[in-house]
């Protein structure tokens, strides 16, 4: 009948749609290179250029040396024949073995315990100053000549004791290059210098303020102003105007 055939067709369409969705989620439907999509990962790998880490290290360390030849570049402390039992004093010691090349230094404790450390690349242990220094400042072969400096690490400087107070009083004497007062002032020895007193200060002058004067005549001792009579009025001026004849015409 036509109805079951139509139902089978709808079921096949739904199954095909579900399979397409599942494949797209998993990633099976990625476009092929022939489709025209570029492979970005391949281009990125071509752009990134690998830089030699040793060459980069040589550019960051001063002195112009070659890493691994002029100075060691160790990543860990190698095994050497160094032993604290062979050292005379506890302290800090550079490892002068060929495989360490003074980049490794050891700390020997008082109970002969060994602790090893590594200086950063480009630096080696300076036995004279007990620090990691640039490789061109250190002669690794001469480091053993400074091992004896470990004897002075915990030694305090000697301080001379202060003299007693009684010794200071008994040992005091006036300096010989200072002349007595008589010779200092060219006076005879049997006469003592006369000490004169300072003159008395001058008397204090007292100023009495006068009463405040508000009248200028009193201030400058001027005579009393005289009252002048008022000036006479100006004379009257009469102006004559002749009469003009007027004619009347009838």
Residues 6+ away with beta carbon under 8 Å from 72: 100, 101, 102, 103, 121, 124
pLDDT digit string, tens, across residues 5-58: 677 777 778 877 776 666 555 554 555 555 555 555 555 555 555 678 888 888
pLDDT of residue 7: 74
- 94 bridge partner residues: 105
pLDDT band at 227 (very low <50, low <70, confident <90, very high): confident
For residue 241, pLDDT beyond 80: no
Q: Cα separation of 238 and 248, whole Å?
A: 30
What per-residue confidence (pLDDT) applies to 123? 95
Measure the CA–CA gap between 146 and 129, rounded to whole angstroms: 9
Alpha carbons 147 and 111: distance in angstroms, whole number: 18
In angstroms, rounded to a whole number, what is the distance separating the alpha carbons of residues 118 and 110?
A: 21
pLDDT tens, position by position, 46-91: 555 567 888 888 889 998 899 999 999 999 999 999 999 999 999 9
Residue reference for tokens 């739904």: 14
Between CA 167 and CA 171 the distance in angstroms is 6
133-173: per-residue pLDDT in tens?
Answer: 999 999 999 999 999 999 988 777 777 777 666 555 555 55
Tell whether pTM > 0.75.
Answer: no
> Taking a C-beta distance cutoff of 8 angstroms, is the pair 87, 108 a contact?
yes
Measured CA distances, 86 to 45, 101, 168 (Å): 54, 19, 51
What is the distance between the alpha carbons of residues 87 and 82, in angstroms, rounded to a whole number? Answer: 9
């Amino acid at each position: 009948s036509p109805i079951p055939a139509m139902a089978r067709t709808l079921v096949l369409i739904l199954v095909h749609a579900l399979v397409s969705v599942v494949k797209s989620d998993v990633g099976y439907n990625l476009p092929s290179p022939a489709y025209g999509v570029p492979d970005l990962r391949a281009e990125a790998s071509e752009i990134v250029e690998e830089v030699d880490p040793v060459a980069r290290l040589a550019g960051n360390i001063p002195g112009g040396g070659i890493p691994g030849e002029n100075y060691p570049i160790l990543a860990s402390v190698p095994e050497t024949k160094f032993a604290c039992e062979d050292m005379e004093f506890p302290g800090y010691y550079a490892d002068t073995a060929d495989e360490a090349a003074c980049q490794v230094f050891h700390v020997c404790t008082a109970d002969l315990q060994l602790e090893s450390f590594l200086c950063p690349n480009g630096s080696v242990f300076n036995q004279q100053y007990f620090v990691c220094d640039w490789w061109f400042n250190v002669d690794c072969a001469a480091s053993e000549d400074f091992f004896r400096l470990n004897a002075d690490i915990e030694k305090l400087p000697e301080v001379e004791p202060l003299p007693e107070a009684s010794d200071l009083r008994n040992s005091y004497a006036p300096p010989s290059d200072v002349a007595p007062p008589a010779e200092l002032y060219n006076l005879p020895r049997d006469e003592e210098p006369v000490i004169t007193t300072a003159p008395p200060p001058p008397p204090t002058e007292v100023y009495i303020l006068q009463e405040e004067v508000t009248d200028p005549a009193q201030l400058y001792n001027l005579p009393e102003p005289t009252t002048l009579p008022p000036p006479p009025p100006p004379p009257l001026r009469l102006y004559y105007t002749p009469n003009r004849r007027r004619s009347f015409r009838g």
